[in-house]
Structure formats: structure tokens, C-alpha cells
């Protein structure tokens, strides 16, 4: 792989604009090459295949290569013409050309001026980020002081915190009977830390920048807990309600439960901080390497040694001399291993540097197996339907009214998972950092293969169930198994739910746990703080209204319907009709409550408008459902009017707000300034498809309730599938817009809540 592609592949996506613009510098060198080629005298003779020209070019290159042998000469031509200096005003590095005599020098002036700007941009960004991580290190040091003091307080309650001094019982002779010995390891590690720091003659101060270096942690002041508030209570619906009712009190019991939660938060904070340091170190190295590569490419083109003075400048710059990041990495590793891995270096480094997920051959094998089985089952079902003439049989309507809605649930799930697999594939292809955006733990995020593997597995189960229902009805001898075959769809639902709720570490447990957590947060909205995964998942639910109605049909069909004879009277039940109305509104109601919570917390008026958008959709769904049940011209007019309003508002919000498109003054007309997909036509096609697929859900209002050779239930399922496809298109561009917003603000790391907050005696935070 060429360096330019390797350079791009190793960039932090959110910092892409802060890296050296290697491609633009390379294009300037290409302009210089084209100029040199235009000035090269034509060959004296040439054969039809141009061999003489190639030979003369190779001889010229060989002769030019001889000049590189004298690169270390103090009288090199470039050293006389190019000077590098640091401007004292703002620390920027400037190139000065002593002599610029010809047009070729003009190309080099343009190249080196651009190189100046890029290098100064990199140095400025790196200096800013180093300053931030040093400040974060200082805060982490303060948090560690409080954590160690909390450990001492919890594990040894006899320690005196009154006057700031303490007495430490030595671990070799201070073990008390009755189980006190197991708590002395905390005190022992504090003593060991003091001894090590005395041996190193380091001042007992927090991690801070002093005299160009990073110092170590100081031993904890034991009265520190008098000035700290412990923030380890997890957010739950109960805690939210207590906060609303102002009945939450601060508990100063310093229990072991609080200690373990504080340790967990600090461990996560150290882990996230360490990843930031690693990427910052990689940023420094990659830019230095890119700077060196582009200079060597310049030397190769011009047959001169301009890289010598520039590389010396780079080594003396802040980018080459600052070692704060390296020292911080060493201190974080030592602290994490000692305090969070019990001194086990391998265990600590395994946590700090998790291995990337490896693609397993068995995943690819089973993916191919299930995909092939799915295709084979589809073909078998089509052949069976054609052989038995089921489309023209008398039981066609009975089957479509009773069995088809049961299996269509799996169709909706499989389609949604398949579309999401495609989303993951294109997010990776266009370097959208979906793992960071969703907040997945490193190494646990699913790839498109794993997602498609699960969807194909569910497809095999569902299609096999469909085939069993059709096949067992062919032979008269199997009529006694009618009740068993009718229970196949219910058994499949139980299997899928069982896999979803399985507590064992199989079938991507971390992803299933993440999904269940999102479901709980959505159900309990607005009692949980709304994060992007929560409202993104709730948006997915709004496209699965028909799936919720299928679940309701399961309850009715197997609860009080006569499933043995494939008959039901669900539509005659007042309870069923009420829930048929309610389940369609629930997803939009959840999103409305989430918008209300964000409006209150973030004070963002756009969230209020977003909530009104979902409320308009609720009205449209209610009117449309009422029209389906009651008919009548009045309900039709109300349903059509509310649907048109909701469609227009939702379409505008999708394209303008969620996707960030239709910018009139953008560099890309009617799009955004920044686009990940090179072809602009893709964005216009997506906007048109979004409008058309939004209109598809109005088919029941507009009167298209029957179609030739298509049953009404099949038509409803097709419209539901179109909505799922629209949601899949929305998913890609929604996350692309979120990614570009993170890029614009250089947000590459999530903020981790810290367990302690400091305050003065008067109660003010510091």
C-alpha cells in the first residue's frame, strides 16, 4: 500500500482536518514535475514504441542521482537558498528563499509556503491537545487522591481523618484477627508508593507540567474526603423521580458499594484517557513521518537536498521535542497496573490495550451456509406454491389472514437487520466512526458480517417454519399434526426471545446487552438521560409499527383465537382494536418524551420542534388507524390532511436537520460543505427516495388497498418493508452528518463522568 493511502487509513477520523494535507502537497509536486517535463528538450530520435525517449529519461535520472552523494556538503545549493526560522510572535515556522531566479523556483515557493502552513497547523493542534491532556491528567490525579483516601476510609475505618495525619499499621505485623488482614493491601500499596517516590527523589505533587516534565502522583491527604462529594449513584427512574421531587439526600456512609462504583468509574476514565494519549502519540508520529516523506519526494524530483534543513527544524520544534505525552503514557500505565490490576502487568495492559476483533473463518462459513440455505428455502417455497396452486386455492384468503401476519414479523426483523448490515459496511467504507458515535466498548462492536450472519440465521428459521406449514398440509396422513404445525410461528418467537435474553456469553452477548439497555431506556423515557443510541434506537422502532401489530396479533391469535382451525375474531374485539390503535403510537410517543427530556436538560429549542414533529405523526397515525377501522368520508379527510402535514414536516426534518442537506450557500450546491461520498448524485437520489418512500405509507389513505394478485395483508407488509428500507437510507446519512459534526469539533472521545467533585467548605465547587 502506498504511503498516502496508509496515512489516511491510520488517521483519527475526527482529527482528519488537523493532519498534514499530504495529498495537496503531493499535487503541488506533480505540478512541478509537469513543468520540468515541459522544459525537457525533445529527443533526437524516437522509435514507434518510444524506447529512445525512455532510455534518455533513465540516463538523465541516473545522472541526477549522482548529486545525492554530496548531500552532506555544507555548501549545498539549497542551504544557500532556503532558510527556516521561527517567528517569535506566534511561534510559526517560516521559509525564506534567498534567491528566486526562475519559474521553477516559483513552484517551489508555492510548495514550501503550503508546507509552512500545514506544519504550523499540525504544531498548533498538537500543542493545544497536549495542554488539554496535561490538564486532564491533573484532574485525574486529584480523583486518584480521593479514591485512595476512600479506600483507606472504607477498608480501615480506624484511620484518623481529623487533623490531616494518619497512622499506618505495617502489613507485616498489623494484621488483626477477625478478617481485618484482607483489607491491608490498600494501605500496603500506599506505603509502597511512598517508598518508590522517595527512592526516585520525585516531589510529592500531582501530575502536572513543571519544568518541562510530568511528575508523579502524591500520597493522599487523608482529610480530602471532607472536601469531596461522591457522585457514584447511577441514573435510574427512581433517582430521576427523587431529583424531580427534591427528596434526594447525600449519603456520607462511604460504603464498599460506593467504593466499587468509584473504582469502576475511575478505571473507565483512565482507560479512555490512555486511548486519547495513544492516539495523540500516533498523531505526532504520523505527521512527522508524512513531513519526512513529502520532503524526500521533493528531493527526488528536484535532485536537491532540501529535507536536511527542514527535518532539523522539525526535530527542534514542539512536535519533535515535547515528550509530555510519552511520560504521561508511562505514568498512566504504572498507575493503572498498580491500583486497578493488583500489580499484574499483563492484566493491566490487556485492559488498556484491548486487541482488535479478528474476523473468524467460521463466521464467514456460517454466513455463506445460512445465506445459501435461505435462497434454497425461498426457491422451495415458490415451487411448492406453484405446484399446489395455492394462489388460486380456496384457502388462500384464510392463510393470508391468519398465517401470513405471523411470519411477516420475521420478515420485518430480517429486512431491518440486513439493511443495518449494509449501513455498517458503508460506514466502514467511508470511515464513519460508528463505534465511537454509538459508544460501543472497544472490540465489541459488530461488523457487517456478524450482523448479516444473525439476520440470515433468523431467515433460515422463519423460512423453514413457512415451508413446514405448507409441506405438512400436503399429505393427508399429517392432518393429525395440524395443531403442532400451527404452533411453529409461536415457537420461533420464543426461540428468538430466548436468544435475545440469554445470559450466557454466546451469540454476541455484549451487543445483546447493549440492545436490551436501549430498550429499557426507551420504555422508561423520559426517566433516563437521552443519549444518541437511545433516540437512534427509538427512531428504528418508529419504522417497525407493523411488527408491533404483528406481535399483538400473536397474542390475540394464540390467546383467544381458534388457531387449530386457522380462524380468529380479533377485529371484532374492542380490546384488540384499542391496542391496535395504541401500539402504532407508542414508538412516536417515546420519541416525543425523549425530545421533551432533552428540551428541559439542554435548553435547545430544536428539540421542542422535533417533539412537535413526532406529535404531528402521532395525530396522523391515529387518524389513519381510525379511518381503517371506521371508514367514512370524514375520517378519510382527517387522515389525508394529517398525513400530508406529517409527511411534509418529517421529510423536511429528515433532509435538512438530520442529514444536514439542502444548504443553499454550501460549497456543494444544495448539499453540505463536507461530503463523504464522492458522487453528489447519491445525495440527490437519496432525497428523492426519501420523499417517495415517505409517501408510500399514505397508500391506505389514498385508497390503494387492493392490487391485482396481491392480498391486502401482503400489500400492508410491502409498504412496511418500504418504510424499513427508507429507514436504512436515513441511518447512513444521519450518522454521516453526526460524524461530520464530530469532525468539525474534533470530538474523538466520549466524556467519562468522574466519581468525585471537589468543593470548598462554603460548598462551592473548585
- For residue 21, what pLDDT band results from cuts at 50, 70 and 90? very high
Give the model confidence (pLDDT) of 472-489 as tens digits.
555 555 555 567 788 899
Match 445470559 to its residue by C-alpha cell: 503
* Helices 256-302 and 324-340: angle between axes, nearest 10 degrees: 150
Of the candidates 143, 144, 170, 135, the one whose C-alpha atom is nearest the C-alpha of residue 156 is: 170
Query: Can you tell me the distance from the alpha carbon of 660 to that of 670, in angstroms, rounded to the nearest whole number?
Result: 10
- The Cα 535–Cα 518 span in angstroms is 9
Spatial distance between the Cα atoms of 539 and 542, rounded to a whole number of angstroms: 5
Contacts of 574 (CB under 8 A, 6+ apart): none
Task: Give dist(CA 521, CA 531) in Å, integer.
Answer: 10
Residue with cell 382527517: 638
420-470 confidence digits (pLDDT tens): 999 999 999 999 999 999 988 877 888 999 999 999 999 999 999 998 887
Compare 594 and 486 and report the one with higher pLDDT: 594
- At 361, the pLDDT band (50, 70, 90 cuts) reads confident
Q: What are the start-end ranges of the H helices in 201-306? A: 237-245, 256-302
Confidence band of 83 (pLDDT split at 50, 70, 90)? low
Tell me the mean pLDDT in the region 139-163.
Answer: 76
Residue 354 CB-density burial (10 A; 0-12 exposed, 13-18 middle, 19+ buried): middle
pLDDT at 380: 93
Q: Which residues contact 11 (CB under 8 A, 6 or more apart)?
A: 19, 286
- For residue 437, the Cα-to-chain-centroid distance in whole angstroms is 3
Q: Quick count: other Cβ atoms within 10 Å of Cβ 328?
A: 25
H-helix or E-strand containing 496?
A: helix 488-500
- R_g of the chain computed on alpha carbons: 34
State the average pLDDT over residues 571-576: 85
Task: Say yes or no to pLDDT of 202 above 50.
Answer: no
Per-residue model confidence as pLDDT tens digits over 633-647: 888 888 889 989 999
| Residue 154, pLDDT score | 83
pLDDT digit string, tens, across residues 153-197: 887 665 554 444 444 443 333 333 333 333 334 444 443 444 444
Percent above pLDDT 70 for the chain: 77
Residue pointed to by grid coordinates 395440524: 482
Q: Please state, in angstroms and as integers, the Cα–Cα distance from residue 759 to each residue in 11, 230, 488, 754, 756, following that order.
A: 40, 11, 62, 14, 10
Question: Would you state the pLDDT for residue 299?
Answer: 85
pLDDT, the chain, mean: 80
* 568 SS3 class: coil
Answer positive or negative: Cα dihedral of 759, 763, 765, 766. negative
Counting every residue, how long is the chain?
Answer: 766
Q: What is the DSSP letter of 765?
A: B
For 547, phi then psi, to 5°, come to -65, -40
- Dihedral angle of Cα 445, 450, 454, 460, to the nearest 10 degrees: 180
On the question of pLDDT at 657 being above 50, the answer is yes
Residues 281 and 759: beta-carbon distance below 8 Å:
no
pLDDT computed for residue 236 by the predictor: 76
C-alpha cell at 235: 441514573
Within 8 A by CB and 6+ apart from 455, the residues are 413, 414, 417, 418, 421
CA 627 and chain centroid, separation: 41
- Give residue 517's pLDDT: 94
Name the 3-class secondary structure at 139: helix
Report the range of poorest mean pLDDT among 42-46, 257-261, 296-300, 515-519: 42-46
What kind and span of H or E run contains 210? Answer: strand 209-210
This model's pTM is above 0.85: no
Q: Are 87 and 94 in contact (CB under 8 A)?
A: yes
Tell me how far apart the terminal alpha carbons of the chain are, to the nearest angstrom.
51
Tell me the C-alpha distance between 188 and 716, whole Å.
69
Coil, helix or strand at residue 758: strand
pLDDT in the model for residue 430 = 93
Q: What is the mean pLDDT of residues 3-24?
A: 90
- In tens, the pLDDT along 534-549 reads 999 999 999 999 999 9
Which H or E run includes 214?
strand 213-214
Average pLDDT of the residues in 126-135? 94
Helix axes 324-340, 103-155, angle to 10 degrees: 20
Q: Which H/E stretch holds residue 95? A: strand 93-97
Q: Among positive and negative, which fits the CA dihedral 257, 258, 263, 264?
A: positive
Q: Are 291 and 119 in contact (CB under 8 A)?
A: yes
Which of the pair, 388 or 681, is modelled with greater confidence? 681
pLDDT at 626: 83
d(CA 734, CA 655): 9
Domain parsing of the chain, residue ranges:
18-41+77-172+182-353, 361-744
State the pLDDT at residue 443: 76
- Least confident stretch, 43-52, 336-345, 480-489: 43-52
Helix (H, G, I), strand (E, B) or coil at 96: strand
Give percent above pLDDT 90 in the chain. 40
pLDDT at 99 over 60: no
CA 163 – CA 391 distance, rounded (Å) = 89
Alpha-carbon distance 563 to 559, whole Å? 9
pLDDT at 84: 56
Give the whole-angstrom CA distance, residue 461 versus residue 457. 7
Amino acid at each position: 500500500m502506498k504511503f498516502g493511502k496508509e496515512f489516511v487509513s491510520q488517521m483519527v477520523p475526527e482529527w482528519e482536518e488537523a493532519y498534514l494535507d499530504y495529498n495537496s502537497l503531493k499535487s503541488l509536486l506533480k505540478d512541478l514535475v509537469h513543468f520540468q517535463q515541459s522544459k525537457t528538450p525533445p529527443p533526437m530520435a524516437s522509435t514507434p514504441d518510444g524506447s529512445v525517449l525512455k532510455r534518455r529519461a533513465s540516463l538523465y535520472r541516473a545522472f541526477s542521482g549522482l548529486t545525492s552523494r554530496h548531500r552532506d556538503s555544507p555548501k549545498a545549493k539549497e542551504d544557500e537558498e532556503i532558510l527556516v526560522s521561527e517567528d517569535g510572535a506566534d511561534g510559526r515556522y517560516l521559509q525564506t528563499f534567498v534567491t528566486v531566479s526562475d519559474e521553477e523556483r516559483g513552484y517551489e515557493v508555492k510548495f514550501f509556503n503550503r508546507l509552512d502552513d500545514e506544519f504550523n497547523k499540525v504544531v498548533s493542534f498538537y500543542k493545544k491537545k497536549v495542554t488539554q491532556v496535561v490538564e486532564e491528567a491533573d484532574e485525574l490525579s486529584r480523583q486518584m487522591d480521593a479514591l485512595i483516601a476512600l479506600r483507606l476510609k472504607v477498608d480501615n475505618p480506624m484511620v484518623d481523618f481529623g487533623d490531616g495525619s494518619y497512622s499506618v499499621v505495617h502489613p507485616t505485623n498489623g494484621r488483626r484477627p477477625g478478617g481485618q488482614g484482607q483489607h491491608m493491601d490498600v494501605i500496603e500499596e500506599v506505603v509502597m508508593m511512598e517508598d518508590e517516590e522517595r527512592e526516585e527523589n520525585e516531589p510529592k505533587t500531582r501530575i502536572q507540567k513543571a519544568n518541562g516534565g510530568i511528575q508523579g502522583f502524591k500520597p493522599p491527604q487523608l482529610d480530602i474526603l471532607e472536601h469531596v462529594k461522591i457522585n457514584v449513584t447511577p441514573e435510574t427512574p427512581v433517582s430521576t423521580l427523587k431529583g424531580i421531587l427534591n427528596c434526594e439526600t447525600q449519603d456520607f456512609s462511604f460504603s464498599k458499594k460506593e467504593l466499587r462504583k468509584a473504582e469502576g468509574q475511575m478505571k473507565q476514565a483512565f482507560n479512555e484517557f490512555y486511548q486519547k494519549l495513544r492516539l495523540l502519540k500516533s498523531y505526532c508520529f504520523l505527521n512527522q513521518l508524512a513531513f519526512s516523506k513529502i520532503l524526500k519526494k521533493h528531493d527526488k524530483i528536484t535532485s536537491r537536498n532540501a529535507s536536511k534543513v527542514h527535518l532539523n527544524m522539525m526535530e527542534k520544534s514542539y512536535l519533535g521535542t515535547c515528550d509530555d505525552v510519552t511520560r504521561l503514557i508511562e505514568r498512566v500505565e504504572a498507575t493503572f497496573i498498580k491500583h486497578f490490576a493488583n500489580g499484574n502487568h499483563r492484566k493491566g495492559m490487556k485492559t488498556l490495550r484491548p486487541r482488535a476483533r479478528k474476523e473468524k473463518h467460521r463466521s464467514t462459513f456460517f454466513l455463506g451456509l445460512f445465506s445459501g440455505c435461505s435462497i434454497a428455502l425461498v426457491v422451495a417455497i415458490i415451487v411448492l406454491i406453484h405446484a399446489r396452486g395455492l394462489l388460486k386455492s380456496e384457502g388462500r384468503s384464510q392463510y393470508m389472514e391468519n398465517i401470513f401476519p405471523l411470519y411477516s414479523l420475521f420478515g420485518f426483523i430480517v429486512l431491518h437487520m440486513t439493511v443495518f448490515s449494509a449501513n455498517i459496511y458503508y460506514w466502514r467504507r467511508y470511515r464513519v466512526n460508528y463505534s465511537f458515535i454509538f459508544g460501543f466498548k472497544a472490540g465489541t462492536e459488530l461488523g457487517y458480517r456478524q450482523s448479516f450472519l444473525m439476520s440470515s440465521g433468523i431467515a433460515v428459521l422463519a423460512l423453514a417454519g413457512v415451508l413446514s406449514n405448507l409441506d405438512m398440509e400436503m399429505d393427508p396422513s399429517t392432518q393429525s399434526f395440524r395443531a403442532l404445525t400451527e404452533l411453529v410461528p409461536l415457537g420461533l418467537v420464543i426461540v428468538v426471545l430466548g436468544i435475545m435474553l440469554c445470559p450466557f456469553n454466546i451469540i454476541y452477548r455484549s451487543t445483546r446487552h447493549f440492545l436490551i439497555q436501549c430498550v429499557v431506556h426507551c420504555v422508561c423515557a423520559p426517566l433516563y438521560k437521552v443519549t444518541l443510541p437511545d433516540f437512534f434506537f427509538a427512531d428504528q422502532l418508529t419504522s417497525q409499527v407493523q411488527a408491533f401489530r404483528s406481535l399483538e396479533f400473536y397474542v390475540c391469535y394464540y390467546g383467544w383465537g381458534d388457531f387449530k382451525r386457522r380462524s380468529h375474531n380479533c377485529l371484532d374485539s374492542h380490546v384488540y382494536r384499542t391496542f391496535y390503535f395504541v401500539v402504532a403510537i407508542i414508538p412516536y410517543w417515546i420519541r416525543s418524551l425523549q425530545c421533551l427530556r432533552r428540551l428541559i436538560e439542554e435548553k435547545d429549542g430544536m428539540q421542542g420542534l422535533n417533539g412537535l414533529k413526532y406529535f404531528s405523526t402521532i395525530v396522523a397515525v391515529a387518524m389513519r388507524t381510525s379511518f381503517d377501522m371506521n371508514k367514512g368520508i370524514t375520517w378519510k379527510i382527517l387522515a389525508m390532511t394529517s398525513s400530508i402535514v406529517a409527511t411534509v414536516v418529517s421529510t423536511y426534518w429528515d433532509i435538512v436537520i438530520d442529514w444536514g442537506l439542502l444548504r443553499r450557500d454550501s460549497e456543494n450546491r444544495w448539499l453540505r460543505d463536507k461530503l463523504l461520498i464522492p458522487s453528489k448524485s447519491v445525495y440527490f437520489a437519496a432525497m428523492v427516495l426519501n420523499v417517495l418512500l415517505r409517501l408510500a405509507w399514505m397508500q391506505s389513505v389514498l385508497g390503494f388497498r387492493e392490487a391485482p394478485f396481491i392480498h391486502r395483508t401482503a400489500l400492508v407488509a410491502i409498504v412496511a418493508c418500504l418504510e424499513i428500507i427508507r429507514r436504512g437510507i436515513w441511518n447512513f446519512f444521519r450518522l454521516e452528518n453526526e460524524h461530520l459534526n464530530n469532525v468539525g469539533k474534533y470530538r474523538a472521545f466520549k466524556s467519562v463522568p468522574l466519581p468525585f467533585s471537589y468543593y470548598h467548605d462554603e460548598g462551592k465547587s473548585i
